[in-house]
Structure 1
Amino acid sequence: MDSVPTASASDVVICSAKGCRVPAVWVLAWNNPKLHTPERRKTWVACDEHREHLSRFLDLRGFLKDVVTLAEWERSAADR
């Protein structure tokens, strides 16, 4: 799995939407089956405003695998 930058007190994860500078609260895990092995996960992060738009973009292409909160993603990464 690809990693999402973790946020520390001075480091904020910013939404992946073009031009957005808002802190991300969602992780969109995706995979392009023409390029990646089935278990590989690429990630985009999204703020509340852009989560649906970015999810829809990935889902229409058959790439979207999972959407979880950034906090959940970081907890699962810490458990690995």
Structure 2
Amino acid sequence: MSLLQPTPDAVDELVCSRRGCRAEAAWGLLWNNPKLHTPERRKVWLACDEHREHLSSYLDVRGFLRGAVPVGELEVAGTP
């Protein structure tokens, strides 16, 4: 991530965030609820290829979606 852009929160387990899905995540969906979070905060939902569109649409309809990045660009909690 660039120093000029908001930094996403670290993620724990690289598993899709869709309820009931245990597939390996391929994407990090970056979002922010402006009523709850500061403008530079980026929460992360993880998505497998199958559920990326569904989760992205859910966030986008609410005006929360800020972008998507491959999981390789995310910081994993507990790693240096």
TM-score above 0.5: yes
CA-atom RMSD in angstroms: 1.5
Q: CA deviation at 1:21?
A: 0.8
Gaps of 5+ in 1: 6-11
Gaps of 5+ in 2: 1-7
Alpha-carbon distance in 2 for matches of 1:2, 1:14: 15
Alpha-carbon distance in 1 for matches of 2:56, 2:23: 17
Residue-pair matches, total: 69
List, as ranges, runs of 4+ consecutive aligned residues in structure 1 with deviation greater than 2 Å.
Answer: none
2:9 aligned partner: 2
Matches within 5 A, 1:13-52: 13-52=14-53
Identical columns (%): 62
Higher helix share: 1
Matched, 1:67 2:68: yes
